[in-house]
Amino acid sequence: MTTSQPVLDSRSLEDEYAQTVRDMGGDLAGRKLGDEYLAGTHALYHGEPTPWALTPKIFDKPTVELLRDSAETMYGIMDKLTRAFRSNVEIQRKFGLDPAFARLCCLDTGYECQIPLARVDIFLNEETGDFQFCELNTDGSAGMVTTDEVTRAIRRTPSFVEFERRHPGLKTFDICGAWADALIETYKGWVGPGFPDTNPGADYTYGDETMSLAIVDFEESIDREDVEHFIALFRDRGVHVRFADVRDLRIETVRPGRLRLVDNDGPIACVWRRAVTGELWEKQCEGRDALIRAAEQNIACVIGGFRTWPCATKTVFAVLWSDEMAELLTADELEFVHKHVPYTKLLGPDSDLARFADKNSWIVKPAGGYNSVGVLAGLDATQDEWLAALGETAKHCGIVQSYAPQYRTPCLRGTLIEGEHRGAPTDADADGFADATNMEGLFLFNGKFAGVYTRCGFANTIGEWTSRLNMGCFYEG
């Protein structure tokens, strides 16, 4: 864990880039090129190029090391907490999950890594190196495709060409490719039924291919563009892959004592569970039961096994602040939590809400929400609206959290397409720039830092419905 304060230069690089764009009159030609490029990719938003910023994040070497160290330190804490949840009833109770679902979160998965895919979101002050975590995410791929493709779009612009002339050799993360490789690596380490047989995968594979993979979600909920992007990546790696609706899953008997998970396209050796856990639990169907049985009996390699859920809940920060963590974490880890995880309190119908009346100091979130749905920062509300939201959150056992300081940088919208929720600032200067809040999502694949989901917004929360802009990401090698 980093103990000395690094000297960071990312902000000066980004300010220099912004000045390059200003000198080019806003680089209108580059913005058109970016929209045209994105229109031919899977980084789409309701069929049109995703809302994006022409101004990217540009991280110097010390900042990249800070991000890597912070992400992997948090992963170590998540790993410990996940293992404790599976073995400690008192820790389980802290999360307040349905007992039947909590039991699923304790299942073994047949592979060692507790959380193969995670993204930990932070607010980073690029000048001081101070940061606060916003939330922890597991299993989904939100941000991978857009960050990769927006970065490629920016590389084509005249402003980037000019900037790179002065700063040659800027690198980019291949987030999507790194995840495809990590998923295959996880599958190869899976100890499934019948192992070690002479040909352990015979009941699961197609011909000479190494595995059959299903990306599993509900048809009405999946981002098809996102899925198609990953299908192409996995097929390039020799994997038989397809999307499978949860409802189409079933268990069939191959021979006495040997079961396998299948859908209408055939056997499934490996599941990438993309279905949001709460939705999966609510939409009862035979396919959902088959997926649960496959996880319970280790019939298939389920990546995004249910044990990843506790760390993805909004309540996890409240658990990290609980007294029990003093026994679970090292002194350094506990100090890391208290310094970088905002104080969080789980509310209930009987909670005393008076201490949270100062709306500008707090934010409320539903216990099981995602994509900023149901999240309200006191700064975005009147006093009456805040008190009403606070009461509603307590009624439904959500959380209240100390509002984390957010870092703002000048941003120029890249997309020229107008429309609702497309990231249009209301206080732009004469060149079209406006200060935007930044958020970095740090990807961890099999516990190792793998890249950054970069985005910004003009409100006090950053989400699909709060004028989010997706940003490119470059770093010094």
For the stretch 302-312, pLDDT in tens is 998 899 999 99
- Whether 458 shows a pLDDT value over 70: the answer reads yes
Minimum mean pLDDT range among 13-17, 98-102, 335-339, 452-456: 98-102
* pLDDT value of residue 476: 95
Q: Are residues 125 and 224 in the same domain?
A: no
Q: Which amino acid is at 314?
A: K
Burial of 393 (0-12, 13-18, 19+ CB in 10 A): buried
Q: What is the mean pLDDT of residues 339-354?
A: 94
Last residue within a domain, chosen from 245, 264, 297: 297
Residue 465 pLDDT class (50, 70, 90 cuts): very low
What region does 63 belong to: left with phi over 0, alpha with psi -120 to 50, or beta?
Answer: alpha
pLDDT surpasses 50 at 396: yes
261 vs 96: CA distance, rounded Å: 31
Contact 54, 414 (CB under 8 A): yes
**Is the pLDDT score of 193 beyond 80?**
no
Q: Tell me, yes or no, whether 166 and 201 share the same domain.
A: no
- Same domain, yes or no, for 148 and 293? no
Between 33 and 140, name the one with better pLDDT: 33
Say if residue 14 is in the same domain as residue 111.
Answer: yes
pLDDT of the residue at 7: 75
For residues 352 and 361, is the Cβ–Cβ distance under 8 A? no
Are residues 20 and 165 part of one domain? Answer: yes
Tell me the pairing of strands 212-217 and 240-245: parallel
**Average pLDDT of the residues of the chain:** 89
- For the ranges 105-109, 168-172, 325-329, 425-429, the lowest mean pLDDT is seen at 425-429
Is 290 among the domain residues?
Answer: yes
In the numeric block, the tokens 């929209």 are attached to 35
Give yes or no: residues 120 and 157 share one domain: yes
Claim to verify: residue 119 and residue 263 sit in the same structural domain = no
Q: What is the rounded distance in angstroms from the CA atom of residue 74 to the CA atom of residue 117?
A: 13
- Per DSSP, the residues of 218-272 read -TTTS-HHHHHHHHHHHHHTT-EEEEEEGGG-EEEEEETTEEEEEETTEEESEEE
pLDDT in tens, 228-240: 999 999 999 999 9
Q: Would you state the pLDDT for residue 304?
A: 85
264, 297, 330 - which closes a domain: 297
Number of domains observed in the structure of the chain? 2
> Is residue 157 domain-shared with residue 238, that is, in the same domain?
no
Rounded to a whole number of angstroms, the CA Rg of the chain reads 23
For 438, phi then psi, to 5°, come to -100, 145
Q: Is residue 180 part of a domain?
A: no
- Helix/strand/coil for 63: helix
Is 131 domain-assigned? Answer: yes
State the average pLDDT over residues 142-149.
94
What pLDDT shows up at residue 233?
A: 97
**Structural domain of 199:** 192-297
Residue that is written with structure tokens 């249910």 in the block: 306
Banded pLDDT at 195 (limits 50, 70, 90): very low
Please indicate, yes or no, if residue 381 is contained in any of the structural domains. Answer: no
Average of per-residue pLDDT across 424-446: 88
In a domain, 206, yes or no: yes
- Which region among 166-170, 376-380, 450-454 has the lowest average model confidence (pLDDT)? 376-380
Phi, psi of 203 (to 5 degrees): -80, -5
Listed range (288-302, 308-322, 366-380, 441-455) with the worst mean pLDDT: 366-380
My answer on whether 111 and 220 are in the same domain is: no
Q: pLDDT confidence of 369, banded at 50, 70, 90?
A: low
pLDDT at 57: 98
pLDDT of 204 reads 56
Average of per-residue pLDDT across 282-291 = 95
Q: Which carries the bigger pLDDT value, residue 248 or residue 46?
A: 248
Neighbours of 388 (CB within 10 A): 13
The answer as to whether 260 is a domain residue is: yes
**CA–CA dist 303, 111 (Å, integer):** 9
Higher pLDDT, 429 or 92: 92
Compute CA 293 distance to the chain's CA centroid, rounded to the nearest angstrom.
26
**What residues contact 378, with CB distance under 8 A and at least 6 apart?**
358, 359, 360, 361, 362, 363, 386, 403
pLDDT at 203: 55
pLDDT band at 429 (very low <50, low <70, confident <90, very high): confident
The answer on 135 and 52 residing in a single domain is yes
Could you tell me the CATH number of the domain that includes residue 212?
A: 3.40.50
Q: How confident is the model at residue 206 (pLDDT cuts 50, 70, 90)?
A: very low
Q: Where are the beta strands (DSSP E) in 332-389?
A: 344-346, 362-365, 376-377
Closest by Cα among 104, 109, 106 to 88: 106
Q: Percentage of residues in the chain with pLDDT exceeding 90?
A: 73
Burial category of 464 from C-beta neighbours within 10 Å (exposed 0-12, middle 13-18, buried 19 and up): middle
Same domain, 47 and 146: yes
Do 132 and 239 lie in one domain? The reply is: no
Q: Is residue 2 part of a domain?
A: no
Q: What is the pLDDT of residues 328-338, one digit of tens each?
A: 999 999 999 99
> Of 297, 319, 334, at which residue does a domain stop?
297
The more confidently predicted of residues 20 and 100 is 20
Give 395's contacts (C-beta < 8 A, 6+ positions apart): 349
Query: Quick one: average pLDDT of 366-373?
Result: 60
CA distance to 144, 335, 394, per residue, from 318 (Å) = 28, 15, 14
